[in-house]
Structure 1
Amino acid sequence: MYISEQLLNPDERRLRLSAQLGVHHVVLDNRGTELVSADGGVSQWDSRKLNDYRKWVESFDMKLDVFALDVGSILLDSLVDIEGARRQRRMLADNIQKAADAGITCLKYNVQMVGITRTGLRPGRGGARNSGFVHAEYSPEDDRKHSYWGVGYPSNQEEGGSASAMLCGQKMAREVPPVSEKAGWDAIEFLVEGLVPAADKAGVRLACHPHDPAYPVGGLNGIEHVMGSADGMRKFLSLSSSRNHGLNFCQGTVAEMFREPGRHMIPVIEEFAATGRIFMVHFRNIRGGYLDFEEVFPDEGDVDMFQAIKAYQRGGYAGPLCPDHVPVSDLDEGRERFMAFALGYTRGLLQAAGVWSTPSR
C-alpha cells in the first residue's frame, strides 16, 4: 500500500506541490474539462490527447494510477430512453479502449444519480467546518446548498456549480422521477453489462464508487441508494466475475452505512480487501454513522485508522490510499494544507504498520 492523491484537473504548480509532499502516484479527475468533455452527454475521448496528458503528469515523477470515467446521465437515461443510453454505453466502451491505448490501466466511475447528499456544515476543531448528513434535518434547500455536485466540494460550489453537475449526470433528488430498488439495480446492471466486456478486452480495471450516503429504507425523495449498504456492494461485485470489475472503496462512504462504524468497519474492510477487487481506496474518516454523520480529519473519527491499515494488509490489498473529503476552512480555501495533513498522517500509519512501500513508477 502507498499514499496517492486524488486531484481535480491539477496544474503544474499543484503537481509540483504533490511531488514535494512525497506523492508519486495520483488519481486524476478531469471531468468538465476540455480533455474529456463535450456539451451534454458522454463525450468521445482522444487517445492521443490522453497519452500526451499522461506523459505530462509523469514528467513530475508521478504515476497516473486511476483516471475518472464520466458516465454522464446514462443511469437515469437507461430508465427513460434506452436507445439513447445504449449509444452512450457504446461511447463509454470506446473510451475505455482509448484509455488503454493511452497507457491508462484503471478508470473510476460513480453511480450517483443525484448529488452526494449533505445537509449542512458542523463546527469542527479550531473553527474548521465538517460536511455532514442528518436525515432528520433534510430539506431540499440544504441539499442544494451543501451537497457535493459534479466535481466540486460542499461550500465550494463556485468551482463546479450546476454546469459541472450536469456534466456528471447529477440532478437534485426532487428533479428526478422515483427510482425504485429494482430500477436502481436495472440501471447499474445495464451499465456493467456494457462496460465490463470492454474493460476485459482492453485490460482496464473499473473502480466503482458506492452510493454516498446510505439512504433510509424506502429511499429519499423516492430515490433508492441500492449500493448504500455492504450487502449492496456485495451484490454489485456479484454482477460480474471479471477481475476488472471492482470498487473504488470509499472508506468514509462505507462507514456511513453503519450505526456503529467503529465496531463494524475493520472486518468489512478485510472482507472486501480479500476479494482482490478493491482497486483504490478513499482513506477518510467520519464521526457518527448511518443517517447522522459528519466528515472529519482522519485522526478524529470513529474508525481506528491504524487498525484499518492492518485490515487492508490482512486482506491482501496493496494499492493506493487517497485522502478525501477533509473539512473546509477559510484558512485553507483550496484544502491543500488539510490534504497535506491527511497525506502525512496516512504515510505515518503505513510506516507504523510496517507496510509502507514505494512502488515502481
Structure 2
Amino acid sequence: MNIQDQLPDNQLTDDNLSFFKAIGVDYLTINPPPFAATVSGPAAEPLLKERGEITQYLKEKRALAESHGLRLYYIAFAGPDEITLGTPGRDDKIELWKNTLRAMGEAGVPALGYNFKPIGNFRTATSFGRGGAGYSTFVHEEWEKDVPSHPDKQIDELGMWRNIEYFLERIVPVAEEEGVQLALHPDDPPIPEAMAGAARIVSTLDQYRRIFNLAPSDANAMLFCQGCVTEMGEDVLKAIRDMGTLGKIVYVHFRNVRGRTPMNFQEVFVDEGDVDMFEAMKSYRDAGFEGPFMMDHTPQIPGDRKQREGHAFATGYIRAMIQAVYR
C-alpha cells in the first residue's frame, strides 16, 4: 500500500525528494509538468511538444525519483481551454495529449490526472482553526459578492457534455493502448451549476457515471478526491465502496473537510473533519482498492513556509491508517 505526494517541475530538487522519502512517501506526482498539452493558447517554448522529448523528460525524472527511492507514478494538469470550450485549436491540443500519453507509456508512467473545467477552483477568505492554522475555505454567499468575470469562457451544460465526449472518444483509445489510466478530478467546489458563466459537469457521482459511460474503459476513471465527494453531500463510505468496486478509483486525495455541502466548507486537518477517516480507510480496503493515497490541501501551519510540517503530519496520519486497516 503506497502513499504519494506531488511537486511542480521546478521544485524537483534532491532536497525535496529526500524530504518526501524521509516522511514515508512512496510515489511521486509531477503537477504540472512542462508540457505544451497543459496550456491554453499557442504552446510557448520551452514547453515540450514532441513524443520523443516528452519521453526523454519522463525517463530522466523517473530516474531522479528512483535515485531517492521513489516511483514516478503520475503526472497531472488541467484541460486547456481549446478542449474544454471546444474552440479553434482543439484538435491540435488533443494531438499533444496523445503525444503525452504515448510518451508516458514508453517511459512507464501509468497515470495521468486532469480536470475538465474552463474556470479553475474557487475559494473565499481563509479561515483559521487549530493553533492558528489557515484553512482553505469556500462560502458561496461571500463568493457571490465578487464573482470573477470570464466573458471569454461562457459555456452551457450541453456544450460541456459535447466537448468532453469529443475529447474522450479520441483520448481514451490511446490511453488504453499505452496502459495509462486517466484520473478525472471533481470540480472544486463541486457545485453542479454554472459558476462565473461556465457550466460544470464533474460535480456529482451521477455525472461521473455518465462520463464513464461516454467511453467505457478501464482507462476512463477518476481521482477520488474524498474532500470534494464529502462536499457533494454524498454518503462518503458508500461512494468509496461503489466507485472502488467498479475499479474506477485511480488514486485518492485522502483529506477531510468540515461541511457536507459545496456551498460552505473548510478544508481542515485530516483528523478533525466530518468524515470518520478510519471507517473511510476500511471502505477502501473492502472495495479492493490498493492505493495510492495522497494528502491534499493540508492547512497552512503558521511559520511553515514550505508546508513541510503539514505534509509530514498528514502523511504520517495516512501511514498509520494504512497500517491499522490493511493488515
Quote the Cα distance in structure 2 between the aligned partners of 1:192 and 1:34.
19
Q: Secondary structure at the match of 1:120?
A: coil
Please state how far the C-alpha of 1:87 moved relative to its aligned partner.
Answer: 1.4
Q: Secondary structure at the match of 2:195?
A: coil
For structure 1, which segment, 231-240 or 175-184, has the greater mean C-alpha deviation from structure 2 after superposition?
A: 175-184
Q: 1:50 maps to what in 2?
A: 58
Please state how far the C-alpha of 1:297 moved relative to its aligned partner.
Answer: 0.6
Please state how far the C-alpha of 1:275 moved relative to its aligned partner.
Answer: 0.8
Please state how far the C-alpha of 1:36 moved relative to its aligned partner.
Answer: 8.0
Deviations 1:182-232 (A, max 9, x none): 11211211221111011112121111112111226x422332211111111
Given candidates 222, 233, 254, the residue that maps to 1:247 is 222
Given candidates 23, 29, 32, the residue that maps to 1:27 is 29
> Residues 35 and 49 of structure 1 are in contact (CA less than 8 Å); yes or no, is this contact kept in structure 2?
no
Quote the Cα distance in structure 1 between the aligned partners of 2:39 and 2:130.
41
After TM superposition, the structure 1 = structure 2 runs for residues 158-173 of structure 1, keeping only pairs within 5 Å, are none
Please state how far the C-alpha of 1:265 moved relative to its aligned partner.
Answer: 0.7
Q: 2:314 maps to what in 1?
A: 342
Quote the Cα distance in structure 1 between the aligned partners of 2:141 and 2:37.
39
Quote the Cα distance in structure 1 between the aligned partners of 2:206 and 2:42.
31
Deviations 1:155-202 (A, max 9, x none): xxxxxxxxxxxxxxxxx5534443211112112112211110111121
Q: 1:137 maps to what in 2?
A: 142
After TM superposition, the structure 1 = structure 2 runs for residues 183-194 of structure 1, keeping only pairs within 5 Å, are 183-194=159-170
Q: Secondary structure at the match of 1:113?
A: coil
Please state how far the C-alpha of 1:34 moved relative to its aligned partner.
Answer: 7.5
Quote the Cα distance in structure 2 between the aligned partners of 1:339 and 1:202.
32
1:36 to 1:332, Cα distance in 2 relative to 1, 3 A: farther
Quote the Cα distance in structure 2 between the aligned partners of 1:248 and 1:269.
11
Q: Does 1:111 align with 2:113?
A: no
Please state how far the C-alpha of 1:330 moved relative to its aligned partner.
Answer: 3.5
> Residues 222 and 248 of structure 2 are in contact (CA less than 8 Å); yes or no, is this contact kept in structure 1?
yes
Q: Give me the CA root mean square deviation.
A: 2.1
Quote the Cα distance in structure 1 between the aligned partners of 2:66 and 2:161.
38
Q: 1:275 maps to what in 2?
A: 246
Q: 2:295 maps to what in 1?
A: 323
**Alignment TM-score, normalising by the size of structure 2:** 0.90
Quote the Cα distance in structure 1 between the aligned partners of 2:5 and 2:316.
11
**Alignment TM-score, normalising by the size of structure 1:** 0.82
Q: Does 1:178 align with 2:154?
A: yes
Q: Report % sequence identity.
A: 32
Quote the Cα distance in structure 2 between the aligned partners of 1:52 and 1:68.
17
Consecutive unaligned residues of structure 2, counting only runs of 5 or more, are none
Q: 1:223 maps to what in 2?
A: 198
Please state how far the C-alpha of 1:76 moved relative to its aligned partner.
Answer: 3.7
Q: Secondary structure at the match of 2:298?
A: coil
After TM superposition, the structure 1 = structure 2 runs for residues 36-75 of structure 1, keeping only pairs within 5 Å, are 40-41=41-42, 43-45=48-50, 46=53, 47-75=55-83
Given candidates 176, 189, 193, the residue that maps to 1:213 is 189
Deviations 1:271-323 (A, max 9, x none): 11111121111111100122110101100100111111111111111020000
Please state how far the C-alpha of 1:234 moved relative to its aligned partner.
Answer: 1.5
Letter in 2 for 1:239: L
Please state how far the C-alpha of 1:69 moved relative to its aligned partner.
Answer: 4.4
Please state how far the C-alpha of 1:77 moved relative to its aligned partner.
Answer: 4.1
Please state how far the C-alpha of 1:139 moved relative to its aligned partner.
Answer: 4.2
Letter in 1 for 2:212: L
1:328 to 1:139, Cα distance in 2 relative to 1, 3 A: farther
Q: Does 1:311 align with 2:283?
A: yes
Quote the Cα distance in structure 2 between the aligned partners of 1:30 and 1:223.
23
For structure 1, which segment, 119-128 or 40-49, has the greater mean C-alpha deviation from structure 2 after superposition?
A: 40-49
Quote the Cα distance in structure 2 between the aligned partners of 1:97 and 1:268.
32
